[in-house]
Chains A and B, each alone.
Chain A
Amino acid sequence: MKLRELFEEGRFVLTSEIGPPKGVLLDEMFAEIEPLKGKVDAINVTDNQSSVMRLGSLPVCHILKERGFIPVFQITCRDRNRLALQSDILSAYVLGVENVLCITGDHNVLGDHPQSKPVFDLDSVQLIKTVRGLTRGRDMVGNELEGSPEFCIGAVVNPGADPLEPQIIKMELKAEAGAEFFQTQTVYDVGQFERFMSQVERLKRPVMAGIVFLKSAGMARFMNQNVAGVSVPDDIIKELASVSKEDRPKKSVEITARIIRSLKDMCQGVHLMPLGWDRYVPDVLKEADLR
């Protein structure tokens, strides 16, 4: 199933996200996503997220598919040159993956192998264009493929970036290159998101608002200081700080659902990033009057 079909049906699309383990034991990951079954439309599998070496995104996508989930293959430009990127995209197709999300990727120095060689042979725009080319039966240099893969191609954008203009210019390039939908960096500031949406409506691409579950006031403050384009408003931080540790999940569910409710009419879907709190996803969706 391609996400494109769901958008076309006019469905409000819900996705979530899972990071493969550092190692080969999968049980914990399976347990983590169990509550998502039947609740979300698809699950993104991250690609060495935050530049931390882990089990690959592609095999995990394949396994999720076998278990009845619809995977979205996240692929970054950090670790593979153009040969490997194209090859992995073809591999994804034969392994049953139908959705890819093309991202630049965090820089190596932010992860656990800061000594490694950054690749970035292609940037995200060029990668999207390349995947689009593959779906039309040609590799990057124009060689014909024996059978072409089919994908729904997604891309990312940061609506909180300051200044926003260069982000939007890049978003246009991504759309021009072949991106069919956009997933955003986490949103907490609804007004800011609304302003962003009014500027990108003309691109006519479905946008899924990203939302990271806030687990504590400390986490919110950390994100404000360290994550580009993320601003958790003060009243949300105060709200989180006002409850005891045991009540935090409940508060987090309440806040997340509230944000989703207010974003719902502005965009075409929501991408949830529960960071291990997948068990609260059903509560969030219920409180947000979604499923």
Chain B
Amino acid sequence: MLVSERKPWEEILQSLGTRDRIFVVSCGGCADACETGGNEGLVEAKTKLQEAGKQVTGAVLVDYLCNKVLVGIRMGRYIKELEGSDLVLVLSCGVGVQVVGAMVDLPVHPADNTLFMGGFTGVWPGAERCAQCGECRLGVTGGICPVTNCTKELLNGPCGGSNNGKCEVDPEKDCGWMLIYERLKRLGRLEDMKGIRPARDHKLMEPPPERRKTIYWALENVE
């Protein structure tokens, strides 16, 4: 289970900027269980977006977003709506956001922060990985996670070792920052690479106390 929590709506709405036509995707897996996705999340997102004067071009629930094939089939039905959207708001863990980002040629913004992995790892689809950093920044990195795709977990662009699109540690491994750069360039959002990003808050990687309790409670209950 990838445990997530909702970002403050203020932060989410701010991240959308002037982009008004929003397509919403919500995950019916872990995010539903965490009450950060699911049908309720979808309804909440629609309401919040409309209240903020945004147009919701479409809203779809997919269980699970970490199942690439399923995402492809479900999203495939909304090609027209997606073409008429400025971005996709995704209610799920970091993996789900990245899967959607890899599927559509639109910016994807996360509505949730992924906090930690509670035992079950989801249906891992392959390359899209989330390190549960607790502060999801996929909205400004073209939907590609810098924490897991950059070997040094850099937040402010590529290091000097990036070579022909590959990482300095392994000529077979893509440089995460080149992937981010290429994607942002394609999306016309290179300005997202500007502005200094502050250092990570590693405290956020510890499960918050109330979450910790729930895990223990669940285990105790099994006995």
Tell whether A120 pairs with B156 under 8 Å between CB atoms, given A107-B168, A126-B196, A172-B194. no
List A121-144 residues whose CB lies under 8 Å from chain B.
121-126, 129, 140
Q: Which residues A94-127 have CB closer than 8 A to chain B? A: 103-104, 106-107, 109-110, 118, 120-126
| B199–A104 CB distance below 8 A | no
Q: Is the CB of B190 within 8 A of A169?
A: yes
B157 touching A161 by the CB < 8 A rule? Answer: no
Contact A166 B152, CB 8 Å, known A104-B160, A228-B163:
no
Q: Scoring A residues 68 to 111 as 1 if CB is less than 8 Å from chain B, else 0, what string do you get?
A: 00000000011000100000000000000000000110110110
Q: Hey, which chain B residues are within 8 Å of A163, CB to CB?
A: 178, 181
Give the complex CA separation of A118 and B151 in angstroms. 9
Contact A166 B164 (CB under 8 A): no
State whether the Cβ of B161 lies closer than 8 Å to any Cβ in chain A: yes
Q: Which residues of A contact B164 (CB under 8 A)?
A: 162
- CB of A157, distance to nearest CB on chain B (Å): 8
In the bound complex, do residue B168 and residue A170 qualify as a contact, i.e. CB atoms below 8 Å apart?
Answer: no
Is residue A284 within 8 Å, beta carbon to beta carbon, of the partner chain? no
Across the interface, do B168 and A166 meet the contact criterion of CB distance under 8 Å?
no
Distance of B159 from chain A, by nearest CB (Å)? 4
Contacting pair A125 B157 (CB below 8 A): yes
Residue B122 at the chain A interface, CB threshold 8 Å: no
Chain B: interface secondary structure?
Answer: loop
In the bound complex, what is the Cα–Cα distance between A194 and B196 (angstroms)? 27
CB distance from A290 to the nearest CB of B (A): 26
Q: List the A residue with the shortest CB-CB distance to B202.
A: A121
A173 interface hit (Cβ, 8 Å): yes
A30 to B50 Cα, complex, angstroms? 70
A107–B196 CB distance below 8 A:
no
Is there contact, CB below 8 Å, between B177 and A107? no
Say whether, besides A107-B152, A162-B164, A228-B168, A170 and B158 are in contact (CB < 8 Å): yes
A165 to B154, CA, bound (A): 17
> CB < 8 Å: which of A106, A125, A229 contacts B163?
A229
Contact with A along B129-152 (1 / 0, CB 8 A): 000000000000000000000011
CA distance A28 to B193 in the complex (A): 45
Whether A185 contacts B199 by the Cβ 8 Å rule is no
Chain B residue nearest to A122 in the complex (CB): B199
A177 in the interface, Cβ–Cβ < 8 Å?
yes
Q: What would 16 A/B residue contacts be, using CB atoms closer than 8 Å?
A: A82-B199, A107-B151, A120-B153, A120-B154, A123-B152, A123-B155, A123-B159, A123-B199, A124-B156, A125-B156, A161-B162, A165-B190, A167-B158, A167-B160, A169-B157, A173-B194
The 6 closest A-B pairs by CB, nearest first: A170-B157, A228-B163, A125-B156, A123-B154, A104-B159, A120-B152
Chain A residues close to B by CB (< 8 Å): 77-78, 82, 103-104, 106-107, 109-110, 118, 120-126, 129, 140, 156-158, 161-163, 165-167, 169-170, 172-173, 176-177, 185, 227-229
Given contacts A123-B154, A169-B194, A172-B194, 9 further A-B contacts (CB under 8 A): A78-B152, A124-B156, A163-B181, A165-B185, A166-B193, A169-B190, A228-B160, A228-B162, A229-B160
